[in-house]
Amino acid sequence: MEKELIERKQRWADLYEPDGDNRKFVYMVSFPVPENCGWEHPWRQRIGNRTEVAWRSYCASMKHYKNVPDDTLPFLNVWTGTELFAEALGCKVKQPEDNMPFAIPFIRSAREAEKLKVPKLEDSTLMDLFGMADELWRRAGGDALMSLPDMQTPLDVVAQVWDKSDLFMAMIDEPEVVLELEEKVKNLQISFIDEWFRRYGTEFIAHHPSYYMPKGITMSVDEIGSISTDMFDLYERDVLNELSDRYGAIGIHSCSDSEHQWDKLAEVKNLKLLNLYRNGETIDRAFARFAHVCAHWHGIQEQFPTAKPIAGRAPEEFPAGCRVVITAWAPNESAAAELAKQYGEKYGRL
């Protein structure tokens, strides 16, 4: 492994380690990918085209890595939608041309939930994704970072397969049924993740956003915006801690209105990075609340243009102890390289 790659990985690893009140930063400067990379819907029946697009994107990311002095790491991206595990459990999938695919719930009652049979990994639709990843891995010579597919928490998957108008009542009236189904989902996910890491290694790039994890698991945690803190304790806390314990660390993404759960998220074991996508004022509060808890990679919603961009802030504008991923956009590769040099001077290299 070349020296620059080792050093970039180490900077990410260092970002995850708290250092008292000292602030830490890594930074990534994006620019438009070449037109010949193309794009493809993340639909299961288009695995072939997706593989070619992913390979061209990997080649473009290698060029970025070599020419732009930031903390971006090249990786193989098996980009998926949120429907991955819901489809494996039996959901039909809606595939709009102008948006991401999504699962259609098919469970309407607790009695139907009790009857759901979870397939073995090797008999499920999830194996199609292994086919894509195997081919990309082969082309890269078996020595590349792989993205982890979009992993929803077990409760989030349950909320995809079970119609929420009935599920939310069952979470109050028949919690044992919901927990049983959540356990089934978790076990399928563990089977998938164990096999994924066995084939492609335990270091990876998160599904969203694209941060490096030396080990661990990354999860989308969105239903927490719809439930109380007591329900978090019942349906989310133990599962997140169990997965973090099993794989050694966890990164969390949430684009829900979940500020009432922040104290609960701060208690998740070995939380390495939190990604929120909210308005600017909320993000500022998150920097303060999680300054000494974990690293930050947040997005400010586009409908709030008056919020001060994260990348425009001086290091001292972040709360003491903050560890932050700074991201920016440039019109082309040469501009990205120049901006990365400026950020190196502004934020320093870990």
d(CA 61, CA 221): 28
| 92 to 165, 166, 289: CA distances (angstroms) | 18, 19, 40
Closest CA relative to residue 322, chosen from 279, 278, 289, 276: 289
Do 144 and 57 meet the contact criterion of CB atoms below 8 Å apart?
Answer: no
* Whole-number pLDDT of residue 1: 61
pLDDT in tens, the chain (350 residues): 689 999 999 999 999 999 999 999 999 999 998 777 888 888 889 999 999 999 999 999 999 999 999 999 999 999 899 999 999 999 999 999 999 999 999 999 999 999 999 999 999 999 999 999 999 999 999 989 999 999 999 999 999 999 999 999 999 999 999 999 999 999 999 999 999 999 999 999 999 999 999 999 999 999 999 999 999 999 999 999 999 999 999 999 999 999 999 999 999 999 999 999 998 889 999 999 999 999 999 987 665 555 678 988 999 999 999 999 999 999 999 999 999 999 999 998 75
Separation CA 144–CA 67 (nearest Å): 18
Q: Which amino acid is at 314?
A: A
**Whether 192 contacts 200, CB under 8 Å:** no
3-state secondary structure 278-295: ECHHHHHHHHHHCCCCCE
What is the pLDDT, as a whole number, of residue 306? Answer: 55
Closest CA to 22 of 345, 312, 294, 319: 319
| pLDDT the model gives residue 294 | 98
Residue 185 is predicted with a pLDDT of 98
For residue 269, what pLDDT is reported? Answer: 98
pTM for the whole thing?
A: 0.95
**Strand blocks (E) in the chain:** 24-30, 75-76, 92-94, 102-104, 145-146, 204-205, 212-213, 217-220, 250-254, 271-278, 295-296, 299-300, 323-329
Could you tell me if 22 and 321 are in contact, meaning their C-beta atoms sit under 8 angstroms apart? yes
What are the structure tokens assigned to 14, written together?
Answer: 């260092």
The residue written with tokens 């792989």 in the block is 146
* Structure token digits, residue 23: 């602030």
Question: Could you tell me the domains of the chain?
Answer: 3-347 (3.20.20.210)
Amino acid at site 131: G
- Indicate the SS3 state at residue 287: helix
